[in-house]
Structure 1
Amino acid sequence: MNNYSNNSYHTFLHPNQTYSSVFGQDLVADVIEIPILSLTILFAIVYTILIFSRPVFRQNKFNWLTVNICISTVLLCINILAMHAKQNDQSSSINCRVRAFFLLSAVNQLMYSHCVAAVSRMLAIVHAKKSFSRSNTCLFICISIGWLLAFLLSSINLFFDSYTCLQSPSTEFLSYYNLVTTLIIPIVIITVCNSRILRHVRQSTRQLRAQGTQPRLAHTRDMYLLKVMIVTFVVFFFGWTPVFLMQIFGVSVQFPEFLTIILRISPSVAMLHDTLFLIFTNKPVRLFIKQLVIRRRLKVPANVVAIFQQQNRNQM
């Protein structure tokens, strides 16, 4: 046996340590991480069900972008929980490659779901005069391309041993490949799209003010949604970047136990934050949930609830 951890997901996070040397900190991290992942799945599913169940929410195209992020989050959380369930699993090379493919596909899908949101917002804002850019067809084409890219970019893990293969050391170039395809490329795409959106909105705002008119409500809403997507991506980026950097530099660096635990749970914390942040910043959804709670506690008449729902529609 080499000095890889007997837990394939733990090996992904700290490949320089044996199972016996990290067992204590892995146990502490598991106690923290598994409940966080479970809560993330719960909130993401509830949010997705709310969007699908209410026609007024389905009409908002931005909600479909956030649903795509939530579905990707659920798939990634399930993959990580499955890795927890396979501790000490000495699988064949084929099985471990398949596990690596599904895990990296889920990570890539979540990363590229942020890219899809950035590209879709850019097309809808910068090319607003083109009906196709604001159509449902364009939206679902972007989402489909994001899923396809996630699978294609992860397929290389089916041909080489990686961090989930405990019987043989990981192929070194895979760590660099995954860093580029999972982090660097999405960062470039999102940065370019968001910069283009900011430039367009600022130019439009200056033109309107030069004409003596106030910026339209659509511009304010576009800037707000842009800030939401930037915050969710930044949190996700800082949560996952240490994981990929440890794959490259972790072999030669010994991390303190408390720092290893923090790095272990940072991706899960980032996903939980982004899920809650998307729910909280979606004002119609937030108000709808608040109405349900108030109605249940105070038994508000249905006609009063209908008035609140109409106000929600007017704010979308």
Structure 2
Amino acid sequence: MRIGRAAVVTDTGKRRLGNEDAYVFEPPLFAIADGMGGARAGEIAADLAASALEEASAQTRDATQLSAIIAEANRRVWERSRADPATAGMGTTVTIALVDAPAGTISFGHVGDSRAYRLRDGALEQVTTDHSLVAELVESGVLTPEEAERHPQRSAITKAVGTEPSVDADVFTRDTLPGDLFLLCSDGLSDMLSEEEIASAIEGADRDPEAAGDALVAAANARGGEDNITVVLFEIVDGDAAEPHPEQDRGIGATTVPPATGEPTDKDERAEASEPAAAATPGAAEPEPIRHGAGAGGRIAALALVVSVLAIGLLVLYLAVR
């Protein structure tokens, strides 16, 4: 088996001023991070975590290292938040998928409420467990899954990368079959669409990852686009382990509010993440952004800039001739 087509699509949504979701697209490793914190702290947290994951992807393909990789991401975010008052309390979700094509397996590392899904034979299954207040209430029988979807604290998370000196990540491995399609997404998608709607959008796009990603983002925005939306999709197909060059579409981002000490963090207070950034502490350099793709809006803006430059050039030429 091998990885077939793959794509990533990210979008600011309808309510946020900036896109703060981050992702890593380095087959056979894929990951997303959805940060939290006031001003630009959420973006910084997600970028720091994604930087650690991307560096690790170049050094290891060993699923047993996923816990160590997440621990390194946690260390970077935690130390930065302690060193820079402007980023105090920041954190991020992290969901990693690492494909071992020769073994026919996929391993996951997971913290927070971003999600990994598997679509097999038309049935969509959430393979990660949300580290959230409502997920715990569902597990204990206090809420039904349907009640959890409408609960006012459905965005309160109980675990994140970087909010404490260490973090206990979920790490596990699943078998894969030819035809499996995997989806990693931030809650900007899963809060807007049901599992049935997600599966329908993917099948309606003929399971093409890029077309499905565009369809999912459009559907989430049609529901209100209350948060940044990031989706990573890839398929498992028959064949040798040689992987084709997948589509790397568009990307970066993160969201939310500063967590306290182990208490659930309400990720609905994201207006703070859209406020102007506080002045950075001197000497605290920001990380290099991971995969700052433009997205559809970015491509439109870039086209407008090119048109403006051409118009100015023609005007200068006209005046020179006169």
TM-score normalised by the chain length of structure 2: 0.29
Larger RCO of the pair (alpha carbons < 8 Å, separation 6+): 2
Going by fraction, where is helix more abundant, 1 or 2? 1
Q: Which has the larger radius of gyration?
A: 1
Larger % of strand: which? 2
Query: Taking structure 1 as the reference length, what is the TM-score of the superposition?
Result: 0.30
